[in-house]
Structures are given as C-alpha cells and as structure tokens.
Chains A and B, each alone.
Chain A
C-alpha cells in the first residue's frame, strides 16, 4: 500500500533555531514530492521536487529529495514565530499531478 510518513509528528523549538522535517515515502509510479504549510485552513504550496539531489530554496526554507532512499527533508533556518504551522508532505503519482498522497504532517511550534 502506498504511504507517506512524516517525522516528527510535532516539534517545539525557540526562535532562531534550525529545524529539519522528514518525509519518507513508498509510492508506486512516483511523480513528484510536494511540501505545503498549513496554518489555519488552506495549505500553502512551498516546493515541488522531482529530481534527486537538487536543493530548492525560498528564503529561510530549503528542501531536497533523495529518490534512491525515498525521502525528502525540509529545512527551516533561523525560525520565527510565524513559522508555527503544520507542514505537510505529499507525493504525486501516476499519469497526472492531481492525485496526491499526503503524510499526517509535522506540527511545528516556535516559541519566542
């Protein structure tokens, strides 16, 4: 059965810390891996990764995919209280991008 597993499930850090969120997957016909940030309702798109070893960066956030070991990490440096959210990892599979398998998410809490 296809699955996406995120760890840790929750994390509490202080402002300024660096965090690493993990996502491993077992999905047939892998197409892409996506990261989303969910604060209240609508998940916000962060990254889409399709190739191994190529880091994607956006400000203090970065992510990389390892298709051999079937995992991805999301790094957040110099965390701020505004980074507090649930971070979701999703894997797209098959012939279209529309169907995503989501992990249960990592709840990040950043304390001042």
Chain B
C-alpha cells in the first residue's frame, strides 16, 4: 500500500516567487493536513482539509494557502516567498479515529 507521496522532494526558489507543493494521501484517506518544520519552531500546523473543505487553519499569513481536490490530493501554495519560508513542508493523511496521521517524507524548500 503506497504511503503519502509529496512532490517535489527538493525545491530552490528566489525571494518574491511563488511555489506550489503537492501531496497525494494514502488511498482512502480523506483528511489531509500540512505542517511546516523548521529547526527553531519545530513542527507547526498550517491547515487541514477534509472532503475538499478547509476545516482548520494555523497561524500563518495569507500568503500560505491550500486546496484539496475530489480525489483527496492536496496542494499548498506560498506566494511572495520570504527567506524565512525555508523549511521542510510535511503533509499527513488520516483515515480518522484512532489511526493517527501518516506523514509523507516532505518537500524541502529553500528560498534564496
């Protein structure tokens, strides 16, 4: 059974550009969450989607947005990139209940 797939694995962008990251959840999982991980702040919640609807949003500026498609795949977009956006972006999906969240390997974004 395939795990959570995130693409691309690595990305280098310039300040001011925008970026789109993709996440394919485990088949059958309808809930997808996104997290940003940095050495200083650790893992921080960005947003959660369920059945194409954003259910929760973390404390990030409006430059961070996301969406979920009917097949449960999700994308997140960051516009007007800043140096501080350099981080590992992790996506996680869940079947719900006591199953917890399964994380993908992440996309390492470097902003120069």
Contact = CB atoms under 8 A, between A and B. Distances in A.
Interface string A68-112: 000000000000000000001010001111111111110000000
Contacts of A88: 43
B62 interface: no
Interface residues of A, number: 24
Chain B binding surface SS class: strand
B62 to A, nearest CB: 18
Contacts of B110: none
A48 interface: yes
B44 A97 contact: no
A99 B98 contact: no
B102 interface: yes
Contacts of B105: 41-42
B56 to A, nearest CB: 4
Interface stretch (B11-19, B79-87, B88-96): B88-96
Interface residues of B, number: 29
Given A43-B103, A45-B101, A100 B90 contact: no
A98 B31 contact: yes
B101 A42 contact: no
Contacts of A97: 31, 94, 96, 101
Nearest to A103: B42
Given A102-B42, A102-B45, 4 more contacts: A41-B90, A96-B55, A98-B55, A102-B35
Interface of A: 34, 36, 41-45, 47-48, 50, 88, 90, 94-105
5 contacts: A45-B102, A88-B43, A96-B50, A98-B48, A98-B56
